Structure 1
Amino acid sequence: MLGNFSYCNPTKLYFGEDAISNLSSELKNYGENILLVYGGGSIKKNGIYDQVITILKDCSKKVTELSGVMSNPTLDKLYEGVKLARENNIDFILAVGGGSVVDYSKALSASVHCNEDPWEKFYLRMEDPDNKVVPIGTILTMVGTGSEMNGGAVITNTKDKLKIGKVFGENVFPKFSIMNPKVTYTLPKYQMVAGFFDIMSHILEQYFSNTDDNTSDYVMEGLLKSLIHSSLIAVKNPEDYEARSNIMWISTWALNTFVAKGKSTDWMVHMIGQQVGAYTNATHGMTLAAVSIPYYRFIMKDGLNKFKRYAINVWNVNPEGKTDEEVAKEGLDAMEEYMKKLGLVMKISELGVTEDMITDIAKSSFILPGGYRVLTTKEIETILKECM
């Protein structure tokens, strides 16, 4: 493995059907003023809201509710949350929902006591908070982002058409996350499979980097094979506990910083996909799906050995009598077929992208190093045209 690194993850996980029984003991560690953050109200339909409220009352907590966190949390919503948290002297944020709710809550935790504009400080200048951070805990209701065990927080500035992720440090990581796979059963198929591909994309964007013999690559190949196996089962039977529990666990380990150690990582699929989302408000996992195959075909020759390894070790491609390029291409073809089986969106035009948006999406996409090729804006434009 290359480079020097440190590793610490301060988030405590409670996993399984009875995970929520641990909420009371965790809440005793924090102040009385709780901000309960959730999305569009599905938690009131599936009973989680009532469970949580009962536990909060039993713990003598004073609860302020912040609902309506959207699938792509906006800067305006962040400002709304900051105002509400300050007015109610919030001691602790409890995020109940999927990745968007958790992302939003982490951004909020860093922003409540920030004396500057959080967008300018955290998302444009990419600075870390030098102010008090409000601790958060999460109760996960869908999988995909891995946000329950990392410092990532994506916010969309609708005015400037920018969707940017800030990776905060350990002080913003959730203090605990409660994960019950059964809670994910009622998620609509579209959202479910979008989450599955978000997991796959997180793994691939760390896998397709570096050329050394890295332990993380072996771990990621195992995670990918487990994800492929379990996701195909879950699509046929969303209430298969074994499949859903495996997927929930894979999602966490895909992006809790563990497999990134010793890797340079390539996040260009996310950079391009996020800007597609900024222009269309499309579901995050679907934007990643729609740009992935054209992107990986574009950079394949630059990382040919790894793409060949991916084809053989993940997709069981037989290399006998084939060139390295033929093997690598067959792997991407197998990945594309799998994506279609899941029912993923494969074209950005299906998400609302029009030809006249492409240049602006390309220009506003952040260009990051770390992969096998550092793209130019023109190359991003070429890839986006292939995605149509």
Structure 2
Amino acid sequence: MFGNFTYCNPTKLYFGEDSLNNLKTELQKYGNNVVLVYGGGSIRKNGIYDDVLRILTESGKNVAEISGVMPNPTLSKLRAGIEIAREHQADLLLAVGGGSVCDYSKAVSVSVNCEEDPWEKYFVRFEEPECRLVPVGCVLTMVGTGSEMNAGSVITNEETKQKIGHVFASENVMPRFTVLNPRYTMTLPEYQMVAGIYDIFNHICEQYFSGEDDNTSDYISEGLMRSVIHSSRAAVKDPQNYEARSNLMWTATWALNTLIAKGKTTDWMVHMLGQAAGGYTGATHGMTLAAVSLPYYRYIMPYGLAKFARFAENVWDIAPAGKTQEQIAAEGLAAMEDWMKEIGVVMKLSELGVSEDMLEELADRTIPLKGGYKELSRDEIIRVFRESL
């Protein structure tokens, strides 16, 4: 295992069916002014809103609300939320929802006490916050992004059609606490559940497919991927299977809390490609990732052949006897494709509204990254997009 690194994750997790009972204890650590942040209203229908608001009221908190946070939070929504948090003099931002609500709350957190334009500062120049942050807490209702235990935030500029993520270096951006109750995820439509499942899996892949050393992180990743595969099949068969949904929730958190990235260069090009498509179309994040993943991995496979062969053997149980590395690796990606179809993810960008005439613009909105087995040129980015249609 190569490299030097520091690992610190200050997010406190409360997991299980009774986990919301701990919210009152956490609220005692913050001032009276709480901004409750949530999405399109599903938490009102399933009763989570009432439970959270009751605890806030019993704790004597003065509550303001930012509602209507969309699946791909926009810059205009961010600016509106900043103003609400400023007017309320927020002491805590309480995000109740999925990864988009958590992402959004972190973007509000770093912007409330900063006079600079948040888009330019954080999502164009990728600067770190220099102002006082407003603490964030999360009550998670959808799994996939891992935003509940990391410092990442993704915002879409609806005018330029750019969807850009910033993983902040400061651990202070991470949520101070997160409530993880698997029951809260069971009211999601199957489409959203499956999109989240693939998001989990791809987060692990993008850290796994980098480096050539014997790395402890890769062994952890293989176990997490096997868990996702097993639990996804059980959850698709029975969405009310608590064991499967709880395992998916726990795996999602560990897939992107930065632990398995340690000692790795990491390769986030699938996210760059998927976010470019998502920013342009507004399509569901996990589905954009699914649509571009196999064309990308098949393209870079020759450059990281040994790891792809290991992936086939250790994750998909491909028998290596009598086969070349190329054959083993190809069988692994074929097994991955079969699983993706089995659980019902979107396999083509055309199903999400992308057409041939958009590819040049999508390439212009795709940020090329180093860290993987092959750095893509603009022409190669267009090629991968075309093969994803």
Please report the TM-score for the alignment, with normalisation by the length of structure 2.
0.99
Distance in 2, Cα, partners of 1:378 & 1:158: 26
Mapped to 1, the partners of 2:116 and 2:187 lie a distance apart of 40
Determine whether 1:135 maps to 2:160: no
The answer to whether the aligner puts 1:26 opposite 2:37 as a matched pair is no
Counterpart position of 2:39: 39
Provide the rounded CA distance (Å) in 1 between the counterparts of 2:135 and 2:368: 32
Residues 45-89 of structure 1: CA deviation (Å, up to 9, x unaligned): 110000011100000000001100000000000000011111111
Taking the aligned partners of 1:161 and 1:244, their CA distance within structure 2 comes to 34
Structure 2 SS opposite 1:164: strand
CA–CA separation in structure 2 for the residues paired with 1:176 and 1:221: 27
Matches of 1:90 and 1:146 in 2, distance apart? 24
* Structure 1: distance between partners of 2:92 and 2:231: 35
2:255 match: 254
Q: State the alpha-carbon separation in 2 of the partners of residues 323 and 258 from structure 1.
A: 33
1:109-124 pair list within 5 angstroms: 109-124=109-124
* Equivalent residue number for residue 6 of structure 1: 6
Aligned equivalent of 1:268: 269
Alignment of 1:230-309 (within 5 A): 230-309=231-310
Equivalent position of 1:327 in the other structure: 328
Which runs of 5 or more structure 2 residues have no equivalent in the other structure?
Answer: none
Aligned position for 1:69: 69
- Once the two structures are superposed, the pairs formed by residues 339-378 of structure 1 within 5 Å of their partners are 339-378=340-379
After TM superposition, which residue ranges in structure 1, 4 or more long, deviate above 3 angstroms? none
Q: Whole-Å Cα distance in 2 between the matches of residues 104 and 173 of structure 1?
A: 12
How much has 1:317 moved relative to structure 2?
Answer: 0.4
Aligned to 2:87: 87
**Any idea what the Cα deviations from partners look like across 1:263-297, whole Å, max 9, x if unmatched?**
00000000000000011000000000000000000
1:37 Cα deviation after fit: 0.2
Please give the alpha-carbon distance, in whole angstroms, between the structure 2 residues aligned to 1:369 and 1:2: 17
Deviation at 1:361, TM superposition (A): 0.3
Cα deviation code 1:234-259 (max 9, x no counterpart): 00101111111100000000000100
Separation in 1, partners of 2:85, 2:143: 27
Distance (whole Å) between structure 2 residues aligned to residue 338 and residue 94 of structure 1:
36
Residue 27 of structure 1 aligns to which amino acid in structure 2?
L
In structure 2, how many angstroms separate the alpha carbons of the residues matched to 1:238 and 1:2? Answer: 41
The residue matched to 2:347 in structure 1 has which SS? coil
| 1:340 shift after superposition | 0.2
The aligned length equals 388
One-letter identity of the residue aligned with 1:363 = D
State the SS of the aligned residue for 1:383.
helix
RMSD: 0.5
What displacement does 1:115 show? 1.2
Quote how far apart the aligned CAs of 1:354 are.
1.1
Q: 1-side partners of 2:385 and 2:368: how far apart?
A: 14
Name the aligned partner's letter for residue 111 of structure 1: S
Counterpart mapping for 1:126-275 below 5 A:
126-168=126-168, 169-275=170-276
Q: Distance in 2 between matches of 1:19 and 1:238?
A: 21
- Supply the AA of the counterpart residue of 2:284: T
What is the CA–CA distance in structure 2 between the aligned matches of 1:216 and 1:165, rounded to whole Å? 23
| Counterpart position of 2:54 | 54
Aligned with 1:202: secondary structure?
A: helix
- The residue matched to 1:266 in structure 2 has which SS? coil
**Percent identity (aligned):** 63
